């Protein structure tokens, strides 16, 4: 008689355990799918951010390069002006020395 009571109880317990395992597995799968989707979304956001950042860096470096080119051109013109000034000043100093030498003689 006890066996007739125990067998259905064991069966009900096993059914309950199996259903609980199914629910746990389904919940675990759902959680893993959500986490995978979140990682995919996060990775896509990072990829977009890094792509935008690289484009901004390239643009900024191009602008810096253009500005440095302008500075180099300006320095080259300035160097020419300084060289012309030096030639004029040497000639003026040389002329001044000659005129003071003539006056002193």
Q: Which two tokens stand for residue 72?
A: 């180099």
d(CA 89, CA 81) in angstroms, rounded, equals 12
Over residues 17-26, the mean pLDDT reads 97
Q: Which two tokens stand for residue 4?
A: 């007739």
pLDDT (0 to 100) of residue 100:
84
pLDDT (0 to 100) of residue 4:
82
pLDDT (0 to 100) of residue 102:
78
d(CA 103, CA 96) in angstroms, rounded, equals 11
32-74 residue pLDDT tens: 999 999 999 999 999 999 999 999 999 999 999 999 999 999 9
95-105 residue pLDDT tens: 998 888 777 66
């Amino acid at each position: 008689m006890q066996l007739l009571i125990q067998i259905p109880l064991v069966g009900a317990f096993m059914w309950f355990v199996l259903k609980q395992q199914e629910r746990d597995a389904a919940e675990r799968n759902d959680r893993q799918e959500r986490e995978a989707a979140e990682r995919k979304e996060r990775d896509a956001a990072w990829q977009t951010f890094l792509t935008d950042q690289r484009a901004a860096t390239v643009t900024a470096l191009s602008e810096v390069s253009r500005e440095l080119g302008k500075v180099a051109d300006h320095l080259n013109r300035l160097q020419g002006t300084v060289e012309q000034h030096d030639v004029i000043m040497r000639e003026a100093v040389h002329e001044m020395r000659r005129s003071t030498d003539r006056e002193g003689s």
